[in-house]
Each structure stands twice: as C-alpha cells, then as structure tokens.
C-alpha cells in the first residue's frame, strides 16, 4: 500500500499514512477530494481526487459537500477554511522550524545567478560608500603633503581599510543573512530561495562565514565551483559541498512544501534579463571606448 502525506484544512502537513487512513478521513469529512496529497516519487503535491481510483469510492456527504456559513456581521463567508467559498488566506512562513518528509525543490542555477546579481548590486553600493571616502581622504592627505607620494602610517591604513572593509562587510552580509530567520540574503529572498544544512536545518553564523570564504574558492577555479550547481544532483555548488549546505525553495522543509515553485518566477526572469542587458551594454561600451582610444593614437 502507498504511504501518503496530506495537507488538512488549516494547511498543516500530516503523515505518513496509508491509503486506508486517507479513505477514512475523506469519509468523515476531514479531507476533501481537493485536499493536497504527496507520496514518494511524485514531482509535486496534487489533489486527492487525482487518486480516486486508488483511495476508493468512500466520499460521503460530509466529504463531497461543505455548506458555507455566512458571517452575518460582515456578510462574508466564514466556513471551514477548506470551503471553496472561503477567501484565500496567505500562509505564514514559519522560520526556524524544520519539517522532514515531503518533496524538496532545489534552487536551480539560474535562480542562484539572479539572487547573486541582486546581492552584488547591493554590496557594490555599500562597498563604494566605504571605499570612496577612504580613498578620497587618502588623496587629500597626499595633496596636503605637497602632492608627493607619501606612504605614512595614516595613508597606509586608509588604503588597506578601503579594500579590507568591503570584504569584511560582504562576509558579515552573507553570514548574517544566511543564519537569520529567513535563511537568505536579500537576493535570495527576492527570488524565493534559502540556504539550509543538508538535513534542512538553519546554518549557524560561523558556518555562514566559512561558506563565504568557500565562495571565493569556487570563483578562483575559473568559476567552475559555481557552475557545478547546474549539473550536480541536488544543485550543489562546490562551496555547498565544502560546507554541507543546500540552496532550496523557501518553502522546503516547512509545513507547506506544496507551495514550492519549480519555475523561474517573474522576479528571476526580470533580473536575468536586466543582467544580460547590462553585460551586453558593458561589452559594447568597452569596445567603443577601446576604439576611441585607438583613434586618438
């Protein structure tokens, strides 16, 4: 017999249970043919009615019909939450709680690229906000000393800080956001993915720091470490393997795995399109600039 997981009227996931138990719940009205179910081997959650032949003809009036109750004060339907007349309710993403079982949708390569584009944009702005004052300050210090290339202690500290502080900021950014309740940076939150341990648990800040430096390793080998996410079975990049992490849909390992999205999504598509336009524009500008320099000589 098949082993199932099911979502009840309050969108809580239960299981595993046998087909006979689903039939019993359906018969007593706790489940409806529209209730979502999942079992091993299924790509996504599907309505129970899709498996009517397996469950059996056990629908009773309690399961087949649901009379909505009208709220006389508001004039709106206030029936059980699984009524087709009930208004949809936005599910609450519970952070810090890990649910085992059910399907896990791993973040694809292009979703990760889109998230990285957003994060890079944010970090670039923050990095320039740190670097420019320090470098301009160092330049002003040089001018104040007669314009000579002075490399005194103050000058050295300013130059080193201009390059070290942005790296430390990036480290804290990735480690703190990945270890936070959302388990995701701003870019990952925008595209709907998160970073977890191999068992779905949140990562610690220390592991987030280690993962940041592992990111550098992935980039140093001609970015092959990043490209691995497009070909490995669980979409793991090299830095994921080094740090025992996964990048998954934000609803994975929660009580609503049925909300996971396999498609790219609008935000991802828009960000990738803008990134491609920027990349092409940068190449055109560089070619134009090189041509102008060549004519000048």
Quick: pLDDT tens for 8-46: 777 778 888 888 888 888 888 788 888 888 888 887 788
Which stretches within the chain are classed as H helix? 19-28, 52-55, 61-64, 109-144, 153-179, 186-191, 205-220, 224-227, 238-243, 266-296
Pairing state between β 193-197 and 46-47: unpaired
Per-residue pLDDT tens digits for 54-105: 776 544 333 344 333 334 344 333 333 444 434 444 555 655 667 666 789 9
Is 135 exposed, middle or buried (CB count within 10 Å of its CB: 0-12, 13-18, 19+)?
middle
Q: pLDDT for 231-265, tens place per residue?
A: 998 999 999 999 999 999 999 988 788 889 999 99
Q: Hey, where are the domains in the chain?
A: 1-89, 109-280
Question: What CATH number has the domain spanning 1-89?
Answer: 3.30.1490.40
Beta strands 13-18 and 3-7, pairing class: antiparallel
Q: What is the pTM of this model?
A: 0.67
Report the alpha-carbon distance of residue 277 to residue 264 in Å, rounded. Answer: 18
């Amino acid at each position: 017999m098949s082993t199932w997981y099911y979502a009840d009227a309050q969108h809580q996931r239960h299981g595993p249970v046998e087909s006979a138990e689903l039939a019993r719940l359906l018969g007593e009205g706790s489940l409806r043919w529209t209730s979502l179910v999942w079992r091993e081997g299924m790509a996504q959650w599907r309505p129970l009615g899709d498996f009517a032949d397996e469950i059996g003809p056990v629908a009773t009036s309690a399961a087949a019909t649901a009379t909505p109750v009208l709220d006389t004060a508001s004039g709106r339907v206030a029936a059980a939450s699984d009524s087709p007349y009930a208004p949809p309710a936005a599910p609450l993403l519970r952070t810090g709680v890990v649910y085992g079982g059910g399907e896990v949708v791993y973040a694809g390569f292009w979703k990760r690229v889109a998230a990285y584009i957003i994060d890079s944009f944010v970090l670039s702005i923050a990095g320039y906000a740190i670097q420019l004052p320090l470098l301009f300050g160092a330049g002003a210090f040089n001018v104040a000393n007669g314009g000579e290339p002075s490399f005194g202690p103050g000058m050295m500290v300013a130059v080193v800080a201009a390059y070290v502080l942005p790296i430390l900021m990036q480290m804290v950014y990735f480690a703190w956001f990945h270890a936070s309740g959302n388990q995701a940076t701003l870019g990952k939150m925008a595209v709907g993915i998160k970073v977890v341990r191999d068992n779905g648990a949140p990562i610690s800040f220390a592991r987030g720091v280690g993962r940041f430096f592992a990111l550098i390793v992935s980039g140093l080998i001609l970015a092959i470490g990043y490209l691995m996410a497009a070909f490995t079975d669980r979409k793991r990049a090299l830095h994921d393997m080094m740090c025992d992490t996964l990048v998954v849909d934000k609803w994975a390992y929660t009580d609503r795995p049925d909300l996971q999205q396999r498609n790219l999504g609008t935000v991802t598509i828009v960000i990738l399109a803008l990134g491609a336009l920027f990349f092409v524009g940068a190449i055109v500008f560089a070619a134009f600039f090189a041509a102008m320099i060549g004519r000048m000589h």
